[in-house]
């Protein structure tokens, strides 16, 4: 299946992508891909090192005649988001990604593809291996753990990098040059609750919300896609007002940077209410399907009877849980006043887990304005505290302030216009790029970010355009060829 990928153009990039995707590389479990990159650099006879947190740096001297050009740092992250469809049997810890070609797209079989940020990594690997491409002095920075905390970028010390210009290859629209991004903060709300005996004369149901698109909780948050956690909670809120419903378990969402696609709840109701309950759930499904018909055509809300659980939530804790999730903001919170059509601040209610006497809610709040990020974080903190949860902030990282006077931006703009006959979009993205973090220890480094077109990142629908990859590669080589002199 993956052999067809190796025949695509440019072959040097697609072959490196296939090599990379054969290596399991979940966030926080990057040992194998780190060793893969160290072996790769050593096999080329290039200066290769690993820093104290696990980032890999490989340096390549300039090609002949380019020795007097400004040194470039090329940067991408090694880890990938691991998501799969419920009916896909796949072990991310031991299997390589199974890829296939469909028209102009490379996709994965029921899982995330890893084009985010594997295409950037593959392009850098192709440059390092090439003996024919003209380029200035190159320094490749492969960071770890970008997707779940950016700890690689945060742990990179000052004074390690030698480049004066940084090209981050981690954006997902091939007509954009990004010069700014959002910062973020993780919010975790937890509380213990007393478990109660299952009421008598009850029947248990397992309710499932699935079929949602999911996707990147920053780049795609403006689309208004369905959030499985919010949809499930809305159902539980409505049903609990009409029936004697008690929650046993909830398991919704997965990663904080992915819009939740699925949620499962185990509940009990009185046997005498079962017929009316089933009718109510079916009516709710029709209502929510109608609301989201354009954006979520495959949304399903289903139920099935199941074995009675051993315990349920106490009624007071259950009410506060449902009310807290209902009140928690999800989606776009504010649009930027400075940059048209840019989401400034948002929140993703990413994870809800209720089981064995403990409830946990996880959110990722993003903003290009740090004060606005904390304003929304505090609003969510207040919401959850009113529901008697303990709230913790963690994993905060800064945004990247746009520099419209960037010299490398001017070079890239001119190259894009010459190559493709139109002006690129100069943009900031509502996602976490590592440029903002790296800029703290390297404030004088000139930075831009660009990449091929990738759709559905952070979901099993992730795909990368073949023709766009060709465009991206041509653009990257053209920039490197005309990097200014020192």
**154 belongs to a structural domain:** yes
- Boundaries of domain holding 207: 185-397
Using the 3D structure, point to which of 351, 374, 397 is the last residue of a domain: 397
**Nearest-angstrom CA–CA distance, 219 and 234:** 25
387 and 282 belong to one structural domain? yes
167 and 306 belong to one structural domain? no
List the CATH number of the domain containing 387. Answer: 3.30.70.360
Residue 168 burial (C-beta neighbours within 10 Å; 0-12, 13-18, 19+) = buried
Task: Quickly tell me which residue has 């397992």 as its tokens.
Answer: 206
51 and 90 belong to one structural domain? yes
| Token pair listed for 336 | 């930027």
CA atoms within 13 A on the CB side of 355: 8
Distance from chain centroid for Cα 28: 14
Confidence of residue 346 (pLDDT cuts 50, 70, 90): very high
What letter does residue 337 receive in the DSSP assignment?
S
| Whether 426 contacts 177, CB under 8 Å | yes
- Candidate list 79, 147, 262, 461, residue with the active-site label: 79
Mean pLDDT, rounded, of the chain: 96
**Nearest-angstrom CA–CA distance, 95 and 105:** 22
**486 belongs to a structural domain:** no
**Nearest-angstrom CA–CA distance, 70 and 172:** 26
| Whether 176 contacts 424, CB under 8 Å | yes
Residue 468 burial (C-beta neighbours within 10 Å; 0-12, 13-18, 19+) = buried
238 and 369 belong to one structural domain? yes
Using the 3D structure, point to which of 373, 397, 421 is the last residue of a domain: 397
Distance from chain centroid for Cα 79: 11
336 and 212 belong to one structural domain? yes
Distance from chain centroid for Cα 406: 27
Averaged pLDDT, 6-23: 98
**Nearest-angstrom CA–CA distance, 56 and 44:** 15
Task: Quickly tell me which residue has 């960071």 as its tokens.
Answer: 143
User: pLDDT digits over 80-115, tens only?
Assistant: 999 898 889 999 999 999 999 999 999 999 999 999
Q: How many Cβ atoms from other residues are within 10 Å of residue 275's Cβ? A: 9
**282 belongs to a structural domain:** yes
- Candidate list 146, 164, 172, 176, residue with the active-site label: 146
Averaged pLDDT, 132-151: 95
Distance from chain centroid for Cα 340: 23
**In sequence order, what DSSP letters do the residues of 356-396 get, joined into one string?**
TTEEEEEEEEEESSHHHHHHHHHHHHHHHHHTT-EEEEEEE
Q: In terms of pLDDT, which residue wins out, 239 or 339?
A: 239
291 and 220 belong to one structural domain? yes
pLDDT at residue number 356: 96
User: pLDDT digits over 188-237, tens only?
Assistant: 999 999 999 999 999 999 999 999 999 999 999 999 999 999 999 999 99
Residue 233 burial (C-beta neighbours within 10 Å; 0-12, 13-18, 19+) = buried
Element (H, E) at 326: helix 315-327
Task: Please tell me whether the overall predicted TM-score, pTM, comes out greater than 0.85 for this model.
Answer: no
202 and 346 belong to one structural domain? yes
**146 belongs to a structural domain:** yes
Helix (H, G, I), strand (E, B) or coil at 454: strand
| Whether 44 contacts 154, CB under 8 Å | no
User: pLDDT digits over 421-437, tens only?
Assistant: 999 999 999 988 999 99
Residue 472 has pLDDT above 80, yes or no: yes
| Whether 76 contacts 142, CB under 8 Å | yes
120 and 9 belong to one structural domain? yes
370 and 405 belong to one structural domain? no
Asked if residue 10 has a cis previous peptide bond (ω within 30° of 0), the answer is: yes
Using the 3D structure, point to which of 367, 397, 427 is the last residue of a domain: 397
73 and 143 belong to one structural domain? yes
Distances (CA, A) of 449 to 134, 173, 174: 21, 11, 11
Residue 25 has pLDDT above 90, yes or no: yes
Q: 79 an active-site residue?
A: yes
**386 belongs to a structural domain:** yes
| Whether 429 contacts 220, CB under 8 Å | no
| Total domain count, the chain | 2
* Residue 27, C-beta contacts closer than 8 angstroms, at least 6 positions apart: 79, 80, 81, 82, 144, 145, 146, 147, 148, 149
Residue 398 has pLDDT above 80, yes or no: yes
List the CATH number of the domain containing 48. Answer: 3.40.630.10
Helix (H, G, I), strand (E, B) or coil at 304: strand
Q: How many Cβ atoms from other residues are within 10 Å of residue 262's Cβ? A: 20
What letter does residue 222 receive in the DSSP assignment?
G
| Token pair listed for 279 | 């009718």
223 and 306 belong to one structural domain? yes
Q: How many Cβ atoms from other residues are within 10 Å of residue 452's Cβ? A: 26
Confidence of residue 293 (pLDDT cuts 50, 70, 90): very high
The alpha-carbon radius of gyration of the chain (Å, integer) is 24
pLDDT at residue number 438: 96
**Nearest-angstrom CA–CA distance, 302 and 482:** 58
46 and 108 belong to one structural domain? yes
Confidence of residue 1 (pLDDT cuts 50, 70, 90): low
Residue 381 has pLDDT above 90, yes or no: yes
């Amino acid at each position: 299946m993956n052999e067809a990928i190796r025949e695509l153009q440019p072959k040097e990039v697609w072959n490196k992508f296939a090599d990379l995707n054969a290596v399991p590389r979940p966030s926080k479990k990057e040992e194998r891909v780190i060793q893969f990159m160290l072996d790769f650099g050593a096999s080329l006879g290039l200066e290769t090192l690993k820093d104290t947190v696990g980032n890999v740096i490989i340096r390549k001297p300039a090609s002949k005649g380019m020795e007097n050009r400004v040194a470039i740092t090329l940067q991408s992250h090694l880890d990938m988001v691991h998501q799969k469809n419920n009916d896909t049997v796949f072990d991310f810890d031991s299997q390589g990604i199974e890829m296939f070609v469909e028209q102009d797209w490379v996709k994965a079989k029921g899982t995330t593809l890893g084009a985010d940020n594997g295409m950037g990594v593959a392009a850098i690997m192709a440059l390092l291996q090439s003996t024919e491409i003209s380029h200035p002095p190159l320094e490749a920075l492969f960071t770890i753990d970008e997707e779940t905390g950016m700890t690689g970028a945060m742990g990179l010390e000052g004074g390690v990098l030698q480049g004066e210009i940084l090209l981050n290859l981690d954006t997902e629209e091939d007509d954009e040059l990004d010069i700014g991004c959002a910062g973020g903060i993780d919010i975790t709300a937890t509380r213990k609750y007393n478990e109660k005996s299952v009421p008598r004369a009850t029947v248990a149901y397992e309710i499932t919300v699935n079929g949602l698109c999911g996707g990147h909780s920053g780049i795609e948050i403006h689309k208004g896609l369905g959030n499985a956690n919010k949809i499930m909670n809305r159902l539980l809120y409505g049903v609990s007002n009409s029936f004697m419903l008690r929650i046993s378990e909830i398991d919704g969402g997965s990663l904080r940077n992915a819009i939740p696609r699925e949620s499962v709840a185990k509940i009990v109701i009185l046997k005498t209410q079962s017929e009316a309950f089933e009718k109510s759930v079916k009516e709710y499904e029709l209502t929510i399907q109608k609301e989201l018909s354009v954006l979520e055509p495959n949304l399903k809300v289903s139920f099935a009877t199941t074995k009675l659980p051993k315990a349920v939530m106490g009624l007071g804790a259950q009410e506060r849980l449902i009310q807290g999730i209902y009140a928690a903001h999800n989606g776009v919170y504010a649009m930027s006043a400075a940059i048209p059509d840019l989401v400034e601040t948002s929140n993703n209610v990413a994870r809800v887990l209720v089981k064995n006497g403990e409830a946990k809610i996880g959110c990722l709040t993003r903003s290009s304005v740090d004060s606005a990020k904390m304003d929304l974080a505090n609003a969510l903190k207040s919401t959850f505290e009113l529901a008697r949860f303990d709230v913790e902030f963690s994993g905060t990282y800064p945004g990247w302030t746009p520099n419209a006077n960037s010299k490398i931006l001017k070079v890239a703009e001119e190259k894009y216009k010459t190559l493709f006959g139109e002006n690129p979009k100069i943009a900031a993205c509502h996602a976490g790029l590592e440029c903002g973090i790296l800029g703290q220890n390297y404030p004088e480094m000139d930075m831009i970010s660009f990449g091929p077109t990738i759709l559905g990142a952070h979901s099993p629908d992730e795909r990368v355009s073949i023709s766009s990859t060709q465009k991206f590669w041509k653009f990257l080589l053209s920039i490197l060829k005309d990097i200014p002199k020192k």
